Amino acid sequence: MVTFASRARVIAAIGLVLFAGFAATQARAEGYPERPIRVIVPTAAGSYPDVVTRVLQPYLERSLRQPLIVENRAGASTMIGTDMVAKAAPDGYTLLIVPTTFTVNAALNANLPFDLDRDFALIGLLVTNPLLFTVNAGVPAGTLPEFVALAKANPDKLNYGSSGATSEAHLLIEMWSQRAGIRMQHVPYRGGGPAALAAVAGEVQLLLMSPVGVLRHIQSGALRALATGGTARDPLLPDVPTAAEAGFPGFEAEQWLGLVTTGGTSKEIVARINAEVNEVLRDPEVIAKLAIQGTMAAGGTPEDFGRLVATEIRNWKQTAEKAGIKAE
């Protein structure tokens, strides 16, 4: 027979075990980090994610009081570096910079070697980078509505370029085209630089790119900016309206970078990293350095980032299904 006294002893023992586990977790979080932290960038050196990471690196090292070892592990549309972190020890000592391909791959590829929900712990959003609708200077359209009218009058005759098939720009222009009721031909290139040069040469009429990637071509008169995909006008191009101002309320076109670690990492460690990252992103010096790259510091909670990831996966799936886009 289980007596009240024996039940009480069992409950007390369970309580001691739970308290010990909680105390151990707290101790791990309080002692974290005790050694250098690896930061995997799943793109090449000099890429946008790499540049932003290098800007943040010294500030995070100072905040966390440990070196950050940045490793570029590019390939397979960021999946090589991403898979490395998915299979790392869940101790907070391997972090991953995630660009928008984190959600694009999840939406379009049913055979990923990892599972976003199981294999990753989201830490937070790092930065956002509003993209710019730009046309070749010879295109007879000075506004986004004028370009829509031109495309409607010439279905399937205008080209738009992107940094590659199933890239963010590819999907965003398809999403916008569906909303605008127009049809164009997609021409993928091996990166944003070649796509910009193709627009300058007139091979494609429309681009959706970071302002930094096309600013010199706009200043030279080779390209014309029609609208920014951000929620506010770009400080680099204050006379260029937002997409909402140009007749597309609610449409946003932004790159972003986030930070994640391996799934199973304790919530306390995730919270510690998140707090330090948010503190760094509030630093005026960091904000200024990011602005030079056409990028805005973001921040927020893991839950905020989780909502963004879920929304984007849903939107990419809907857009790709309607446009017949599949992962290559």
Taking only the tens place, the pLDDT of each residue in 155-186 is 999 999 999 999 999 999 999 999 999 999 99
Buried b (16+ CB within 10 A) or exposed e, 39-65: bbbbbeeebbbbbbbebbeebbeebbe
pLDDT value of residue 328? 66
For 60-102, what is each residue's pLDDT tens digit?
999 999 999 999 999 999 999 999 999 999 999 999 999 999 9
**Residue 78 or residue 7, greater confidence:** 78
Whether the CA torsion 107, 111, 112, 116 is positive or negative: it is positive
Q: Which residues are registered as beta bridge partners of 255?
A: 129
Q: How many CB atoms lie under 10 A from the CB of residue 148? A: 20
* The pLDDT of residue 11: 36
Q: Which fold has domain 132-228?
A: D-Maltodextrin-Binding Protein; domain 2 (3.40.190)
Per-residue tokens: 211:
């302002």
> Is residue 13's pLDDT more than 90?
no
Mean model confidence pLDDT for the chain: 91
Lowest mean pLDDT among 53-57, 110-114, 282-286: 110-114
Residue ranges of the domains in the chain? Answer: 36-129+254-323, 132-228
Is it true that 36-129+254-323 and 132-228 share their CATH fold? yes
Q: Are strands 132-136 and 94-98 parallel, antiparallel or unpaired?
A: unpaired
H or E stretch at 300: none
CATH 3.40.50.700 describes domain 36-129+254-323: no
CA angle in degrees (0–180, nearest 5) for 206-313-43: 65
Give tens-digit pLDDT for 258-309. 999 999 999 999 999 999 999 999 999 999 999 988 899 999 999 999 999 9
Alpha carbon distance 246, 225 (integer Å): 12
pLDDT confidence of residue 253: 95
Half-sphere exposure of 287 toward its Cβ, with a 13 Å CA cutoff? 8
Residue pair 200/135 in contact by the 8 Å Cβ criterion: no
pLDDT greater than 70 at residue 22: no
Judged against a pLDDT cut of 70, whether residue 18 lies above it is answered with no
Phi, psi of 36 (to 5 degrees): -55, 150
* Predicted confidence (pLDDT) at residue 1 exceeds the cutoff of 50: no
State the pLDDT at residue 29: 60
Whole-structure pTM value: 0.85
Tell me the HSE value of 318 on the side-chain side, using a 13 A CA sphere. Answer: 11
H/E segment holding residue 185: strand 185-188
| 326 confidence band (pLDDT: 50, 70, 90) | confident
CB proximity list for 252: less than 8 A, separation 6 or greater: 130, 229, 230, 231, 243
Residue indicated by tokens 């909670």 = 301
Q: Residue 31's closest CA among 269, 267, 262, 270?
A: 269
pLDDT of the residue at 236: 84
The pLDDT score that the predictor gives to residue 180 is: 97
- The whole-number average pLDDT for the span 36-51 is 94
